[in-house]
């Protein structure tokens, strides 16, 4: 049955759109999954990939192999640098991935031509040959994406088992077998209905591969989150035990200070009339003992220990630490949650302030009607990076574990956490209903 010209144009259009869609999808997935430290407004990404689409269309119009190779090589580097990650390591990753796309396309065309010549399945239908070749190339590009994400990706060691990795490659391989078998069958008697059926099946194959990749990524992400949650729980337990030991030390120190102070008072009275210098000496010892004592900031013993510990740390770092926390009832909170919330808030503030020129931290906690309101302000050199309302750590481009722990503990009491940066000042506000 002879194909109409309109039908041929329609099929070629579907093939081209499918090819560009897979290229854009693969490009975005690779750049997004191999580690990023830039999180810009969505409009920038829409503009960037629209320009990438325009470059692909221009490549189809020009029909220049040199331009096509240059575009496929440069585009991942440019998109990655401006939208995802600007480190030198990732520039090299993106360049290698761009070169791999060219290599995969060349391999796909040569391999499919060899297969067609050996079997002679596509002699009677050029349109079936084009559909099968394009789908084969797209499947190879998806396999290439999986391979490079696995090699260059940010997956934690041990989070993905070898069995899971091999399973993720099974479907594309079976898809290639199905593609070649069905294409050869349709090529024996090419009709418009048969070709449309073939295209529908090929599109379904591609969508199924993308969907299974999405499911696999979710499984990997779930494994990572479980590992991360275990680490968070271990950190919280260790942190709480640390403050328990610190409290025991303070109690022991207070007993020693109390006994020593009584001895000093007796010695001071004995030698006051005989030696005036001994009075000055005793006063110096009193000051030393006062420094060993614990300041009283709040009635909550755990919070008091945390604030004393962080105040000493601030002093060692040359940070001015202002505290006001009296008159607030925290008896409704578990001691481990108090440790999680306040220790992490203090640690984040002190770490940021230590890098600023003017080092200062202000901590305020009040009870306003039925809410405990916590406000922490500190000097900060650079504005924080946030993604979907969550703070991103500048160290590794991932969500800050400290504030993540705080937010999780606060949400357990139906509370809220917000943060704000302006003119070199980073501010965190926590509200917890009593």
Indicate if the pLDDT at residue 406 is higher than 70.
yes
Task: Report which listed range, 80-89, 178-187, 224-233, is most confident.
Answer: 80-89
Buried b (16+ CB within 10 A) or exposed e, 314-350: beeeebebebebeebebeebeebbbbbbbbbbbebbb
pLDDT at 144: 87
Q: Is the pLDDT of residue 265 over 70?
A: no
Its sign, for the CA torsion 232, 237, 241, 246, is positive
Best mean pLDDT range from 76-80, 145-149, 219-223, 297-301: 76-80
Total residue length of the chain:
434
In order, the DSSP letters of 278-333 are HHHHHHHHHHHHHHHS-----S-HHHHHHHHHHHHHHHHTT-EEEEE--S---TTS
**Calpha distance 124→128 (Å, rounded):** 9
CA gap 335, 354 in Å, rounded: 28
Residues 6, 126 contacting (CB under 8 angstroms)? no
Q: Which carries the bigger pLDDT value, residue 332 or residue 391?
A: 332
Residue 230: per-residue pLDDT: 67
pLDDT of residue 310: 87
Token couple for 73? 């090589």
Q: Which of the listed ranges 217-231, 292-306, 373-387 does the model predict with the highest average pLDDT?
A: 373-387
Residue 88 pLDDT class (50, 70, 90 cuts)? confident
pLDDT category at 425 given cuts 50, 70, 90 is very high
Half-sphere exposure of 244 (CA within 13 A, CB side): 8
Give the helix, strand, coil percentages of the chain, each rounded to 5: 70, 10, 20
pLDDT at 372: 92
Residue 392 pairs in a beta bridge with: 385, 399
CA-CA-CA-CA dihedral for 357, 361, 362, 367, to nearest 10: 150
| Predicted local distance difference test score (pLDDT) of residue 20 | 86
Higher pLDDT among residues 393 and 141, named by residue: 141
Question: How far is it, in rounded angstroms, from Cα 185 to Cα 120?
Answer: 12
CA-CA distance, 151 to 137, in Å (whole number)? 21
Indicate the average pLDDT of the chain: 78
Residue 364 bridge partners (DSSP): 324, 375
Cβ–Cβ contacts within 10 Å for residue 380, how many? 21
The pLDDT, as a whole number, for residue 313 is: 87
Question: In the prediction, which pLDDT does 83 show?
Answer: 93
Q: Between 13 and 231, whose confidence is greater?
A: 13
pTM over 0.75: no
């Amino acid at each position: 049955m002879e194909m109409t010209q309109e039908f041929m144009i329609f099929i070629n259009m579907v093939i081209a759109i499918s090819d560009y869609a897979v290229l854009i999808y693969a490009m975005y997935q690779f750049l997004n999954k191999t580690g990023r430290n830039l999180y810009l407004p969505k409009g920038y990404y829409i503009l960037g990939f629209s320009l990438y689409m325009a470059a692909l269309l221009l490549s189809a119009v020009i029909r220049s192999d040199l331009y096509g190779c240059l575009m496929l090589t440069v585009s991942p580097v440019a998109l990655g640098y401006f939208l995802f990650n600007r480190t030198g390591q990732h520039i090299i990753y993106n360049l290698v991935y761009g070169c791999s796309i060219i290599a995969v396309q060349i391999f796909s065309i040569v391999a499919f031509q060899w297969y067609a010549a050996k079997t002679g399945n596509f002699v009677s239908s050029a349109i079936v040959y084009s559909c099968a070749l394009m789908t084969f190339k797209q499947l190879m590009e998806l396999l290439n994406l999986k391979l490079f994400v696995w090699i260059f990706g940010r997956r934690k060691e041990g989070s993905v088992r070898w069995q899971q990795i091999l399973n993720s490659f099974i479907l594309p391989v079976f898809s290639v077998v199905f593609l070649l078998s069905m294409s050869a069958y349709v090529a024996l008697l090419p009709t418009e209905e048969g070709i449309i059926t073939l295209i529908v099946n090929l599109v379904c194959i591609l969508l199924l591969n993308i969907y299974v990749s999405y499911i696999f990524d979710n499984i990997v992400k779930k494994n990572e989150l479980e590992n991360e949650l275990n680490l968070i729980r271990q950190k919280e337990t260790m942190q709480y035990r640390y403050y328990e030991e610190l409290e025991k030390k303070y109690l022991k120190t207070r007993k020693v200070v109390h006994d020593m102070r009584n001895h000093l008072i007796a010695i001071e009275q004995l030698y006051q009339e005989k030696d005036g210098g001994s009075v000055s000496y005793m006063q110096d010892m009193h000051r030393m003992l006062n420094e060993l004592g614990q300041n009283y900031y709040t009635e909550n013993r755990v919070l008091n220990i945390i604030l004393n510990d962080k105040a000493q740390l601030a002093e060692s770092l040359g940070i001015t630490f202002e505290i006001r926390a009296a008159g607030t009832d925290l008896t409704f909170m578990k001691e481990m949650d108090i440790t999680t919330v306040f220790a992490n808030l203090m640690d984040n503030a002190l770490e940021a302030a230590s890098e600023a020129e003017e080092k200062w931290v202000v901590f305020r906690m009040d009870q306003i009607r039925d809410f405990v309101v916590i406000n922490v302000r500190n000097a900060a050199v650079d504005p924080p990076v946030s993604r979907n309302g969550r703070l991103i750590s500048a160290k590794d481009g991932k969500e800050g574990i400290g504030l993540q722990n705080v937010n999780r503990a606060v949400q357990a009491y139906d509370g809220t956490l917000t943060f704000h940066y302006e003119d070199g000042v980073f501010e965190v506000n926590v509200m917890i209903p009593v």
